[in-house]
Amino acid sequence: MEKVRFTEEKATMLATLYGRALDARGERPILGDKAADEAVKQIDYDFASLGVNADMGLTVALRAKPMDEWAASFLREHPDATVVQLGCGMDSRVYRVDPPPTVRWFDVDYPEVVDLRARLYPERDGYRTIGSSVTDFGWIDEIPSDKPGLVIAEGLTMYLRPSEGEELLRRLIAHFPQGGEMVFDIFSRLGIKLQKLNPVVRKANATLYWGIDEISELERLGLTLVSKLDSTDYATPEVKDRLSGSMRAQLWFAGLFPAFKKMGRILRMRF
């Protein structure tokens, strides 16, 4: 068993990992991430303390699924691309998407997080991790820039200071002269204001900073929208039926008001 003592934003990745493990254990998994379930079994941590319930298992899987599909679709068109996944935590997307060996894939997170990955997940050709804060920009020099780039960031942007987040995106866009895509999620400024309503953020004692209201704020950095999903639209009617009554009521209520609908969004953007 691996004992871990993560706090604040590093602890939140244990919550999303646990969410995917709960999904994998269910009868009708959305993501079916067995590696997440195996990792949870090997980590000595009080996962129950993270505030993750069955609803959250479903919502974490519902957020990850379209991101997997968008990443896979980009890699089908660009089988020689370079992938950079920021704030990877214990996410096992590289195994789920299973790109061809011509793809080079880099997962980036704090050193102690990628160390844990190295202890629990197998190596694979074309894959490596980088232990660094994503905003200590020196790590970008380690990424080859001779192919199209796919930048993935799930559950990361909101933890960055706005000026650092914008600088990070600008640098990554400039790093890939052949262009590419970014697949990531954002919170609105209202989402940042209401952060303490999010049990995972509250229990991990994490702080969220970067809220983005308008797509134009990202277009100014050099990105063009390809697709977007509001958090109220992640679930199909069949999956909605599997959520608790209170979660369904929250989604229904949020769906009535544009400001609530766009509190959390997933984006696919081109650069």
Ligand X SMILES: C[S@@+](CC[C@H](N)C(=O)[O-])C[C@H]1O[C@@H](n2cnc3c(N)ncnc32)[C@H](O)[C@@H]1O
Cα separation, 28 vs 158, whole angstroms:
30
Question: CB 185 → ligand X: shortest distance, Å?
Answer: 9
Instruction: Report in angstroms the alpha-carbon separations of 169 from 30, 165, 177.
Output: 30, 6, 14
Nearer to ligand X, 82 or 198 (CB): 198
Which residue from 83, 82, 127, 136 is spatially nearest to 109, judged by alpha carbons? Answer: 136
Q: Among 198, 201, 255, which Cα is nearest to 230's? A: 255
- Dihedral of CA 132/13/31/123: which sign? positive
- Least Å distance, CB 152 to ligand X, is 8
Whole-number minimum distance, CB 64 to ligand X, in Å?
7
Residue placing its CB nearer to ligand X in the complex, 9 or 181: 9
CB of 197 to ligand X, least distance (A): 16
Question: C-beta of 67: minimal distance to ligand X in Å?
Answer: 9
**What is the Cα 242 distance to its own chain's centre?**
23
Give the Cβ contact number of residue 77 at 10 Å: 9
Q: Which residues pair with 131 in a beta bridge?
A: 109
Q: What is the DSSP letter of 137?
A: G
Q: Give the nearer residue to ligand X in terms of CB position, either 161 or 257.
A: 161
For residue 41, count other CB atoms closer than 10 A to its CB. Answer: 10
Taking the complex as a whole, how short is the minimal distance between the CB of residue 205 and ligand X, in angstroms?
A: 13
Which residues bind to ligand X, rule: CB under 6 A?
Answer: 9-10, 12-13, 16-17, 87-89, 91, 109-110, 113, 133-135, 154-156, 159
Q: Which is nearer to ligand X, 53 or 135 (CB)?
A: 135
Identity of the residue, 10 or 262, whose beta carbon is nearer to ligand X in the bound complex: 10
Structure tokens given for 152: 């993935």
Nearer Cβ to ligand X (2/219): 2
